[in-house]
Amino acid sequence: MTKTLKFLTFFLLLISFSLAPASSVLADENFNLLDSLGGAEDDILDPDDAFKISYDSQPGLFKVNWVIADGHYLYRDKMQITTDEPGINSNPLIMPQGDAKDDPIFNKTLYVFHNDVDVSLPYQYNDNGDKETTFKVKYQGCSEISGICYPPQTKKFTVKLSPISEAQAAALDTSSSEPVSEQDEIANVLKSGNTWLTLIIFFGAGLLLAFTPCVFPMIPILSGIIIGQGEEITTRKAFYLSLVYVLAMALTYTVVGILVGLSGENIQAWFQNPWIIGSFVAIFVALSLSMFGFYELQMPASIQSKLTNISNSQQGGNIVGVAIMGFLSALIVGPCVTAPLVGALIYIAETGDAVLGGMALFSLSMGMGAPLLLIGASAGKFLPKAGAWMDAVKAVFGVLLLGLAIWLLERVAPAAATMALWAALIIVSAIYMGAMDSLAEGSSGWKKLWKGLGVLLLIYGIIILLGLASGNRNVYQPLKGLAGISGSAAQVEQLSFNKIKGVEGFHAELERATAAGKPVMLDFYADWCVSCKEMEAFTFSDPAVQKALDGVVLLKADVTLNDEKDTELYKHFGIIGPPSIMFFGTDGKENKNYRVVGFMPADKFSEHVKRALN
């Protein structure tokens, strides 16, 4: 008898598929008639058993629950809850994101639910008195066991409605199926009104940013200033110099941030031009050469006598000189756009509250500077004070300062030139470490260690030169351009972006993509943007990311020049600079909740793209 019922169920399912429109049958995934006829009828559940549905109703909220049988799933985009009652003002459905599932028919990723799921419809009922109404719930699912998809199901539930105020409806609609972008979440923290909690959160965010490419280059700068004091440095003096440097950096971030928030102008971008970058590179090269003992870096005696109370050389440790270096470091070395920074700027721009916004930025900056204080103070306590050890330490920081100079040059110089400089710096350093020297019998363990590290550096420097000669411009993965390694697998395709300029250029490309029914990703990029280079090197080159962006029109706004059109584009989208990535649907509308600010690793970004464009 049971088998007879299952057969009748299966027979009815086949009839329903034959009566359904062809398009709806094609839209169902994994329908395999041969598998079903091949003896899988014992695995076919009745739709009501595969997807057990129940509901719950309270004023302002209609909630549906499904208990999904093992080996079955429901489509997220097939779920609908509607009613014909004209007195109901409903909101979008509240539901989880679901599990990603590749659709082989349409070659795209869909989202499905397994095991169980709750879906709610917030609504506002304005009519007077209680009233009964019927909610229609539509859904569709499939079986992974038998390989069939069930026809769309519709259930009707009659419930009693009670009037609900706007305030009650707003309280019920506190959650959303859409995520909130990280920068908007941070801006909302500022709006919460809890000042101390806000400052603690921003300080913690600063600590997390402390060892990113935005802040890490400041370590050799500060260390070079302290080590430049030579044998006279003390722990107290090292901490004092570090504090001056960090406070100058933090105050600069704070003042500049407030001005950016109130005006919408990215002041830091003004300092990212070849002349200013080149001047700062020259300073680092001069500092590094003094570390190698080529000369004592001092101002001429005539100038020193006139400026004794105003300035002095960096080695003199004068408060003004160190503060100026902290000021310039904040503007030139670390102009990174991060989610905490943007969150604070959004808050300042929307509320005009420069006091709380500035306090948050200062707390963020002090969090970024806290490791610098520890490093600076420890340098005064633990660094050797005299002898060959001190010369070796100064040489190490001299190399770091040269590396910092090359890192800055990457923003304005050709990639091939900076790649060659990296190779030269690494190879020469390896030679100084003894990579080419023979070890005498009875050499110490330290000498062997330095030689081993030198050999590794020498090999890597040669690899960079080989990559450069093969046409590669990625110093982090120099062998990608060598076709002889791993066959054609070494040739990794790069994403192809259409470059746009200004608001008009963007809208022209967006209209073309919308007419073709394609989604769009817009990437804000600049040569001086560190995180932009990271996205290109580590995220956009990833195969999973490229697969997720297949069929998407890719636009790139190169704002390196920071000219009038670039500024106009910033203001059009309400951003302060790169990297900023935004997504537009096939209707041409931006999905603002999925904006990306700052660097995002490849695995996280590929999932983000799928959700943003689903």
CA 311 to chain centroid, in Å, comes to 40
Rounded to the nearest 5 percent, the helix, strand and coil shares of the chain are 55, 15, 30
What integer best gives the mean pLDDT of the chain?
74
Distance of CA 164 to CAs 63, 100, 180, 185, 319, Å?
16, 37, 27, 29, 64
Residue 128 CB: number of other CB atoms within 10 A?
A: 8
* pLDDT at site 18: 42
Q: Residue 393: what are its φ and ψ, rounded to 5°?
A: -65, -45
Of 65-79, 116-130, 252-266, 584-598, the one with minimum mean pLDDT is 252-266
Assign domain 498-612 one CATH number from 3.40.50.12500, 3.40.50.740, 3.40.30.10, 3.40.50.300.
3.40.30.10
pLDDT above 90: residue 586: no
CB 182 within 8 A of CB 339: yes
Distance of CA 560 to CAs 58, 238, 272, 527, 579, Å?
55, 37, 8, 6, 11
Assign domain 2-172 one CATH number from 3.40.50.1370, 2.60.40.1250, 2.170.8.10, 2.40.30.110.
2.60.40.1250
* pLDDT at site 510: 92
Maximum pairwise Cα distance, the chain:
109
pLDDT above 80: residue 90: no
pLDDT above 70: residue 357: yes
Starting at the edge strand that comes first in sequence, how are the strands of the sheet with 116-125 ordered? 51-58, 61-68, 116-125, 88-90
Task: List every span in the chain annotated with CATH 2.60.40.1250.
Answer: 2-172
What's the pLDDT tens digit per position in 115-152? 889 888 887 766 666 778 888 999 999 988 877 888 99
Distance of CA 160 to CAs 30, 62, 134, 157, 600, Å?
39, 11, 9, 10, 48
Residue 508 CB: number of other CB atoms within 10 A?
A: 11
pLDDT above 50: residue 411: yes
Distance, in Å, from the CA atom of 453 to the CA atom of 396, rounded to the nearest integer, reads: 13
Q: Which of 323, 146, 198 is nearest to 252 (CA)?
A: 323
Distance, in Å, from the CA atom of 275 to the CA atom of 280, rounded to the nearest integer, reads: 9
Distance, in Å, from the CA atom of 96 to the CA atom of 14, rounded to the nearest integer, reads: 32
Handedness of CA 220, 221, 222, 223 (dihedral sign): positive
CB 359 within 8 A of CB 599: no
The secondary structure of 236-269 as a DSSP string is HHHHHHHHHHHHHHHHHHHHHHHHHHHH---HHH
pLDDT above 70: residue 15: no
Handedness of CA 285, 291, 294, 299 (dihedral sign): positive
What's the pLDDT tens digit per position in 486-501? 444 434 467 889 999 9
pLDDT above 70: residue 81: yes
Better-scored residue on pLDDT, 313 or 367: 367
pLDDT above 50: residue 311: no
Burial of 337 (0-12, 13-18, 19+ CB in 10 A): buried
Distance of CA 432 to CAs 51, 176, 456, Å?
71, 60, 13
* pLDDT at site 485: 47
Task: List every span in the chain annotated with CATH 3.40.30.10.
Answer: 498-612
